[in-house]
Structure 1
Amino acid sequence: MKIDDLRKISVIGSGAMGSQIAMVCALSGYQVTLQDIQFESLEKAKALLNSQMNKRIVKGKLTEQVVEEAFARLSFTTDLKEAVSDTDFVIEAIVEKLDIKRQLFAQLDQLAPPHTILATNSSTIVSSEIAPATNRPEKVCNMHFFNPALVMDLVEVVQGPHTSDETAEITMALSKRLNKTPILLQKEISGFVANRILGKIMNEAIYLLENEIATAEEIDLACTKALNHPIGPFALIDLTGLDVHYNVRMERYAKSGDEADKPSSLIVEKVERGELGRKTGQGFYAYN
């Protein structure tokens, strides 16, 4: 398969990442199916995408015609077989739990055409841990978008030892056609490039907060005003979700056995209280 043969994309998981990845693909001219096991999640995703696109129309970033055409190319379904039976490329964006991803990829392998590439948006679970669940390991890779996918420019493509050159080349080419800037990692490493660097910043930010050296607001201000980051680490954790941060750290701890990889007690306490960030209205900050 070549990049010009790619016509249809399926995105699995309609959360904040999955829904925006689907819209990025639709805006770039591809036929896209967004699948989720919960109808309510799809309805919420549709409403949020409508709101986000309307804001871009008001700001003059997109025209009504462009948005209407994108939505015409985007369909929603709870039926996995319907979503992938004639697709060329799958992007998985479900919960960061290895066993669930493996189950999904085993299903995708049975339902999708033989030529279809199966990519995971995960930045912590490398695709070599998922590929054995399929009979097409050479067509499995990581394709990591950043949150919010409609805004963030970078995509990390990871070519595992099982991933063919053709799969890596097509995934890089697709990223460019989605108007993103891709980088290719030719070796697997958990966290890839950007999040490994970001993880060190977050660890230090949490240390400073837990030791009452500064408040979350002050630490975020130090990053935005002194380091020129667009958003502080605590505001970013709220945006992506404290549950996501928790699951990522737990996956890392499960692999390493290193206590330092566990989520901090501060994160654990907030997750247990249901303070997951923007999605629940309360995290390190309060949201209306």
Structure 2
Amino acid sequence: MSDILKVTVLGTGVLGSQIAFQAAYSGFDVTAYEISDEALDQARHRFETLVETYVKEVTGAADGKAAEASRRITLTADLGAAVANADLVIEAVPEVLEIKQALYEKLAALAPDRTIFATNSSTLLPSDLKAFTGRPDRFLALHFANSIWKFNTAEVMGTDDTDPAVFDTLIAFSSAIGMVPIPVRKEKAGYVLNSLLVPFLNAATDLA
């Protein structure tokens, strides 16, 4: 059982929108943050497309469950409001170190002390960011594969500072949103999903 109830996803690009939608589809209250009203309009379109995708490709989604998921997502361009009540913040902003570091410095001042921060970075290690979070014991990586409804894996990678209880909480959360957790107890450059699993799954798809 996950201790997470309210989830905030920062960034609604291809993967950020998928993470937010999958969490909402799994019954969580989700807030999706973007930097502008224009970006929020794009996010709304992505969520509409995901409803259609789930109806077509996910068993059980066509009975209204996919449409219901979209109603569990609150969109906002106010960072403070986005994280004010979050149990978990999943960061999925562009893979630029300085952008992520600056964002975590803002989050450190805005989010409740209890809030867990997780980066979905596919190239940066959590240790590249932990000093900027204000809570290195409650920070780790939570890395998903693209097409999350098909490649339902979640890589959980902590740092030397990550509280083991927080690590376990993210393992439980991953299961609660329908993922197969891949625990990585020691930081590994390149990530398991990048180096092995996704190429294997893509090859299998090509053969299907």
Paired position in structure 1 for 2:64: 65
TM-score for both structures, normalised by structure 1:
0.66
SS at match of 1:183: strand
SS at match of 1:3: coil
Larger radius of gyration between Structure 1 and Structure 2 = 1
SS at match of 1:96: coil
For structure 1, the residue ranges without an aligned partner over 5 or more in a row are 202-222, 233-288
- 1 CA distance for matches of 2:55 and 2:40? 22
Task: Check 1:40–1:177 CA distance in 2 against 1; reply closer, same or farther (3 A cut).
Answer: same
**RCO higher in structure (CA 8 A, sep ≥6):** 2
Paired position in structure 2 for 1:41: 39
Q: Which has the higher strand share?
A: 2
Residue correspondence of structure 1 range 231-250 to structure 2 within 5 A: 231=206
Amino acid at match of 1:22: A
* Pick aligned residue for 2:204 from 224, 229, 232: 229
Contact kept in structure 1, 2:158 and 2:185, CA below 8 Å? yes
Q: What's the offset of the Cα at 1:39?
A: 1.9
Q: What's the offset of the Cα at 1:92?
A: 0.3
Q: What's the offset of the Cα at 1:64?
A: 4.6
- What's the C-alpha RMSD, in Å, of the aligned pairs? 2.3
Paired position in structure 2 for 1:167: 166
SS at match of 2:86: coil
Amino acid at match of 2:173: L
Paired position in structure 2 for 1:179: 178
Task: Check 1:59–1:230 CA distance in 2 against 1; reply closer, same or farther (3 A cut).
Answer: closer
TM-score for both structures, normalised by structure 2:
0.90
- 2 CA distance for matches of 1:198 and 1:68? 30
Paired position in structure 1 for 2:136: 137
Moved more, 129-138 or 169-178: 129-138
- 2 CA distance for matches of 1:24 and 1:167? 21
For structure 2, the residue ranges without an aligned partner over 5 or more in a row are none
Paired position in structure 1 for 2:22: 24
Contact kept in structure 2, 1:21 and 1:150, CA below 8 Å? no
Which stretches of structure 1, 4 residues or more, deviate above 4 A after TM superposition? none
Amino acid at match of 1:26: A
Residue correspondence of structure 1 range 200-219 to structure 2 within 5 A: none
- 2 CA distance for matches of 1:189 and 1:178? 24
Contact kept in structure 1, 2:105 and 2:132, CA below 8 Å? yes
